[in-house]
């Protein structure tokens, strides 16, 4: 007989004259086993059936393992084939469900995406605003400005995702795309804090440094808020120096660079180069004197130009900062 959780007290056993404690077992629940004259009789007749069963189970498992190990190479091939098939079916299913299209891959260094979308972000919102991306022989370095919440980082990541998906054989979230073969995708996107001894700024420096040393005309470089982790003057100098380096390439990589350091436009940090183009995320505002935050609308549309204002207070209100604090600012 088996009792769960608690062992029978001596007082209880005194009332149950036929019961005698045998052994206990630990597990998800503590179990206590007791003998009776009848179970003792069965033990004498049949022996320890429970442990005989366990011994037989172990023997069967050992035999099964020995047999399976003889087919390890075939099983690994089957697993790899199944995993690849699973990936292909998953990509096909998501492409069918979300109206993905087949990209055209070429040996050129161009990038032409019509109405590209972010594969993950569009699943989290009711309406996603698509954007075009066109990088040909000139305008290889795209500098994107605009306030927070305006969609800069989402746009840059969506371009990288489209390029990556096309290179693994997937359809892509866009109306159409012609994509040059890309040898590497470099990212300096503002890493989250890690347990390493390096600061976020130092990690950004290493990542941008790797781009400057190794990027080719077939590379895609993504830079988000580089230079913000130090003094403003130093950040402007580092950002301007990186842009100058890319602009001086005979055949620059494709660079998508997001920044709030608009001072680079005022301090002669940037060279006059046909390789540099400026974009911003458009904002709808009724007139230049409008101060109501409700009247400012982010359109999430990439357009040529530079951001005239940061709309920092509007972003602070969207983030939930107290109205009294904003009045002080």
- The rounded percent of the chain whose pLDDT value lies above 70 is 85
pLDDT at 315 exceeding the cut of 80: no
pLDDT at 218: 95
Which of 105-109, 268-272, 287-291, 316-320 is most confident?
Answer: 105-109
Q: What is the average pLDDT value for the chain, to the nearest integer?
A: 86
Which is nearest to 225 in space by CA: 156, 160, 161?
156
Residue in the block written with tokens 């494709």: 254
pLDDT at 12: 72
Q: How many CB atoms lie within 10 A of CB 208?
A: 21
The predicted model scores a pTM of: 0.76
pLDDT at 129 exceeding the cut of 80: yes
C-alpha distances (whole Å) from 70 to each of 65, 77, 147, 210, 227 are: 9, 14, 62, 47, 57
Tens digits of per-residue pLDDT, 57-91? 999 999 999 999 999 999 999 999 999 999 999 99
Mapped onto helix, strand or coil, the DSSP state of residue 199 is coil
Specify which residues 176 forms β-bridges with. Answer: 114
Q: Where are the domains of the chain?
A: 2-51, 103-286+299-307
- The rounded percent of the chain whose pLDDT value lies above 90 is 51
Tokens representing 96 are: 């069918």
Specify which residues 257 forms β-bridges with. Answer: 143, 223
pLDDT at 118 exceeding the cut of 80: yes
pLDDT at 280 exceeding the cut of 80: yes
pLDDT at 159: 97
Task: Give per-residue burial for 57-72: e unless 16+ CB within 10 Å, then b.
Answer: eeeeeeeeeeeeeeee
Query: pLDDT-based confidence at 157, cuts 50/70/90?
Result: very high
Q: Which residue has the higher pLDDT, 285 or 225?
A: 225
Q: Cα 176 to chain center, whole Å?
A: 24
**Rounded CA separation 322/4 (Å):** 57
The answer for residues whose C-beta is within 8 angstroms of residue 273's C-beta and 6 or more apart is 141, 247
Which is nearest to 225 in space by CA: 213, 236, 214, 241?
236
In CATH, the architecture of 103-286+299-307 is 3-Layer(aba) Sandwich (3.40)
Tens digits of per-residue pLDDT, 239-260? 889 999 999 998 999 999 999 8
């Amino acid at each position: 007989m088996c009792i769960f959780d608690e062992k029978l007290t001596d007082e209880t056993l005194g009332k149950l004259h036929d019961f005698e404690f045998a052994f206990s077992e630990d597990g998800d629940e503590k179990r206590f086993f007791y003998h009776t004259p009848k179970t003792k009789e069965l033990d004498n007749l049949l022996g320890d059936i429970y442990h005989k069963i366990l011994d037989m189970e172990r023997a069967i498992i050992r035999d099964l393992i020995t047999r399976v190990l003889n087919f390890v190479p075939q099983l690994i091939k089957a697993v790899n084939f199944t995993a690849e098939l699973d990936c292909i079916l998953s990509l096909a299913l998501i492409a069918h469900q979300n109206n993905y299209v087949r990209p055209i891959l070429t040996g050129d260094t161009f990038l032409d995406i019509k109405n590209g979308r972010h594969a993950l972000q569009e699943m989290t919102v009711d309406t996603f605003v698509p954007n075009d991306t066109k990088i040909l022989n000139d305008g290889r370095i795209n500098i994107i400005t605009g306030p927070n919440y305006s969609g800069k980082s989402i746009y840059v990541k969506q371009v990288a995702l489209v390029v990556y998906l096309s290179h693994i054989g997937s359809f892509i979230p866009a109306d159409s795309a012609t994509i040059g073969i890309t040898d590497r995708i470099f990212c300096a996107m503002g890493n989250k804090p890690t347990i390493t001894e390096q600061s976020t700024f130092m990690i950004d420096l290493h990542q941008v440094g790797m781009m400057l040393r190794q990027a080719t005309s077939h590379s895609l470089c993504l830079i988000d808020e580089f230079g913000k982790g130090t003094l403003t003057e130093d950040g402007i100098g580092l950002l301007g120096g990186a842009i100058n380096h890319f602009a001086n390439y005979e055949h620059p990589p494709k660079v998508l660079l997001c920044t709030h350091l608009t001072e680079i436009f005022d301090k002669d940090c940037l060279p006059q180069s046909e390789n540099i183009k400026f974009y911003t995320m458009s904002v709808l505002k009724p007139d230049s004197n409008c101060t109501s935050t409700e009247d400012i609308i982010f359109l999430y549309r990439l357009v040529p130009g530079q951001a005239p204002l940061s709309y920092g207070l509007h972003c602070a209100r969207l983030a939930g900062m107290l109205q009294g604090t904003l009045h002080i600012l």
